[in-house]
Structure 1
Amino acid sequence: MTTLLIALGLLAGVALLLIVVLLRRRNGATHNVDGLLIEQHHREQARSDRSSYSSFGAHNSPYSVGRRHQK
């Protein structure tokens, strides 16, 4: 029983430590031009990836239409 309480206490301590670390991290906007350009590029890349790797994009692309029936 003591071992279980110690394990739960350690787990709670780790969870509390993670919460404190995540709350202390600064999640603000970038204030310089280079950082803004990098964020813009990553945002555009994520948008492109979401559209090209979606179910519709993967199964209805012009490269795969009709190839299943060709031999």
Structure 2
Amino acid sequence: MLCGTEAIREALVDQAEAFSDWGTVAVFEPIVQRYNVVFARGECWKDLLQFSLATVKDLGMGKHSVEEQIQE
């Protein structure tokens, strides 16, 4: 918990890297073990995001033909 404008400024500006990480959600940790896009962090998150986007694109998302099929 931060109290005062100087403490907040120091945390968010001067030490942004140290305070930019997500907190853990203890209930979900045993289930997801940081291997999903929502709760992953750092390099793991980047890798999962790239994989997810590539997979969705490979399945045809964003292509006009898929939009037509959905509308039908």
Greater Rg over alpha carbons, structure: 1
Q: Which has the higher contact order (CA 8 A, sep 6+)?
A: 2
**TM-score if structure 2 supplies the norm length?**
0.30
**TM-score if structure 1 supplies the norm length?**
0.30
